[in-house]
């Protein structure tokens, strides 16, 4: 299983968010020239896959699911991205869609998708209140790997993003980790275990992670949640109670962190908290709702479906569906864009939270006498020096006639399209010489050759993936059959009473051996990460447990 993938596409090695994420990541990874790749067990082989590969696999599965529904032929497939992805991450998201065979027509930010679902009632087909009255909605959204806050205005079917802010290294996984650690400690103390030995069991930890995620959702609407896991570790059950107060206490410092983006969006939009009419709290904490004392802090949208619902409605808008013709979305830029000027200064051209698509122009002058060319370096970020911001790309405009310093005027234009992809143009106003470029960010953008390679590999893995799926299904079915048979043999009023002592003893021994074999399979998968055909399949040895069990049952 691969967890916590959303905030990872093309995080730069020098980026602050990537370093923060590495400290808590459960992944092993190594650096590559083009992208950071993750270690993943595919068909029990340790393989290296880039974040784009993993995202593409998820999108491919979603595509297969969608294709089982009889959609109209004209309907295109689209997918969303997390808020505040930088340009390289947006490009990587587009690459993932291409690898999965999806035409990426539009990339919608996650909070906007949530706002669409919220404003339209997540399935009601109509807004939840008078559509002519303006509502200012704060989307307080903690996904698996990112934390985003957006402030939107909804009026007359128009959804306008007023401001966005984010803490990208912070996400739902961080909150889950605290609760997992707490419950693991509680259970270990009661069961005379050490937390470290339980952590070595991936199956137990996977069960606990799922239980915590479920409990967290329950706490969004209730004060108490139960964690019940049968046969959690070494046959012992786990039974714990998690209260909302405990959840907030364990994550008190993280909740404090979430309030910084909330205050930032209010500042950026020039609004006071009393002017907020609605709050969509997808984290389930009272901290944010108590901050907006006059707002309607109700989660009307299923948090697991909100983004998909909003993205689907955006698809309907782009597809020209009649029921969506009166709905419009005005998105904004996530980060400030500008260029490097003398001394490494970051000169802002397109400010943060500017509505997109957008186009901004500024005029610059040459810095030296007889300067024949200028190097345009485009950055995004909020710091005053380019060294602290993200380089998107650079290009050179040459052919400038000799002239005193400051005489030649260079007109620089930055453009952001509806998908947030950046283009830059530089023109010498004196000669009309011009050069344009779409920012590709070669350190984060996959080449077409690499995209083609990934597509080929995805096709090559298709048969192996299907074979592995069938094998896992067979193992699960066999495990279930062994469990049922074990219960029947122990039933003195049923099968157990009909068997002779010798046959019963033989059958119990074979059931035990089958259970041990299944346990070995789990350990082989977790520890070795590779196939061993000699040990991985019953049926080759006439004395194997499955053959003996079938023989006894036939008798």
Among residues 302, 307, 318, the alpha carbon closest in space to that of 77 is found at 318
| pLDDT tens readout for residues 219-265 | 877 888 999 999 898 888 999 999 888 888 898 888 888 888 888 88
Cα separation, 416 vs 432, in Å, equals 23
Res. 185: pLDDT tops 60: yes
| pLDDT tens readout for residues 86-123 | 556 666 777 777 787 777 777 776 767 776 776 665 43
Cα separation, 524 vs 253, in Å, equals 39
Tell me the percentage of the chain whose pLDDT exceeds 90: 10
Instruction: Check residues 238 and 318 and name the one with the higher pLDDT.
Output: 238
pTM of the model: 0.53
Res. 373: pLDDT tops 60: yes
Per-residue pLDDT band for 27 (boundaries 50, 70, 90) equals: very low
Q: What is the DSSP string of 163-181?
A: EEEEETT--HHHHHHHHHH
Map out the domains of the chain with their CATH numbers: 1-80 (no CATH), 106-332 (3.90.640.10), 337-438 (2.60.34.10), 448-554 (1.20.1270.10)
Cα separation, 440 vs 434, in Å, equals 19
Per-residue pLDDT band for 184 (boundaries 50, 70, 90) equals: very high
Q: How large is the C-alpha radius of gyration of the chain?
A: 28
Would you state the pLDDT for residue 126?
A: 41
Span of 315-319, 355-359, 540-544 with lowest mean pLDDT: 540-544
Span of 8-22, 57-71, 418-432, 484-498 with lowest mean pLDDT: 8-22
Is residue 42 a contact partner of residue 461, using CB atoms and an 8 Å limit? yes
Would you state the pLDDT for residue 342?
A: 76
């Amino acid at each position: 299983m691969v967890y916590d993938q959303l905030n990872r596409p093309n995080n730069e090695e020098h980026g602050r968010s990537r370093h923060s994420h590495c400290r808590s990541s459960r992944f092993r990874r190594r650096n590559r020239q083009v992208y950071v790749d993750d270690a993943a067990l595919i068909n029990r082989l340790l393989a290296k896959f880039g974040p784009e590969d993993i995202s593409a696999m998820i999108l491919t599965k979603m595509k297969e699911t969608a294709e089982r529904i009889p959609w109209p032929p004209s309907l295109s497939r689209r997918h969303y991205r997390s808020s505040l992805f930088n340009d390289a991450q947006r490009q990587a998201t587009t690459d993932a869609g291409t690898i999965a065979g999806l035409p990426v027509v539009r990339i919608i930010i996650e909070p906007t998708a949530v706002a669409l679902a919220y404003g339209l009632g997540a399935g009601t087909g109509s807004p939840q209140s008078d559509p002519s009255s303006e509502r200012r909605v704060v989307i307080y959204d903690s996904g698996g790997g990112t934390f985003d806050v957006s402030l939107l205005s909804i009026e007359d079917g128009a959804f306008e993003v007023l401001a966005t802010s984010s803490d990208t290294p912070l996400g739902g996984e961080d909150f889950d980790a605290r609760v997992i650690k707490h419950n693991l400690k509680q259970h270990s103390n009661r069961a005379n275990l050490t937390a470290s030995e339980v952590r070595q069991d991936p199956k137990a930890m996977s069960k606990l992670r799922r239980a915590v995620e479920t409990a967290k959702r329950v706490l969004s609407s209730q004060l108490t949640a139960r964690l019940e896991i049968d046969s959690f570790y070494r046959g012992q059950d786990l039974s714990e109670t998690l209260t909302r107060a405990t959840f907030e206490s364990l994550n008190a410092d993280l909740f404090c962190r979430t309030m910084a983006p909330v205050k930032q969006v209010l500042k950026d939009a020039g609004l006071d908290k009393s002017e907020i009419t609605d709050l969509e709290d997808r984290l389930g904490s009272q901290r944010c709702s108590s901050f907006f004392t006059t707002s309607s802090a109700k989660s009307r949208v299923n948090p697991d479906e909100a983004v998909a619902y909003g993205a689907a409605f955006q698809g309907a808008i782009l597809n020209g569906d009649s029921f969506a013709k009166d709905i419009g979305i005005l998105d904004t830029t996530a980060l400030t864009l500008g260029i490097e000027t003398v001394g490494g200064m970051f000169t802002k051209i397109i400010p943060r939270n500017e509505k997109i698509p957008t186009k901004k122009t500024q005029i610059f002058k040459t810095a030296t006498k007889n300067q024949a060319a200028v190097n345009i370096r485009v950055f995004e970020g909020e710091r005053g020096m380019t060294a602290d911001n993200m380089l998107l790309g650079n290009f050179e405009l040459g052919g400038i006639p000799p002239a005193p310093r400051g005489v030649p005027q260079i007109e620089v234009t930055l453009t952001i399209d509806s998908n947030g992809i950046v283009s830059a143009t530089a023109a010498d106003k004196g000669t009309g010489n011009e050069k344009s470029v779409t920012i590709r960010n070669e350190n984060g953008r996959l080449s077409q050759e690499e995209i083609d390679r990934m597509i080929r590999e995805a096709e090559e893995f298709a048969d192996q993936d299907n074979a592995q799926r069938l094998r896992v299904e067979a193992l699960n079915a066999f495990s279930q059959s062994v469990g049922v048979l074990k219960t029947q043999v122990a039933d003195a009023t049923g099968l157990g009473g009909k068997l002779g002592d010798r046959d019963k003893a033989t059958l119990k021994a074979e059931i035990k051996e089958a259970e041990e074999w299944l346990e070995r399979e789990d350990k082989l998968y977790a520890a070795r990460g590779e196939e061993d055909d000699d040990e991985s399949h019953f049926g080759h040895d006439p004395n194997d447990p499955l053959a003996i069990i079938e023989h006894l049952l036939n008798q």
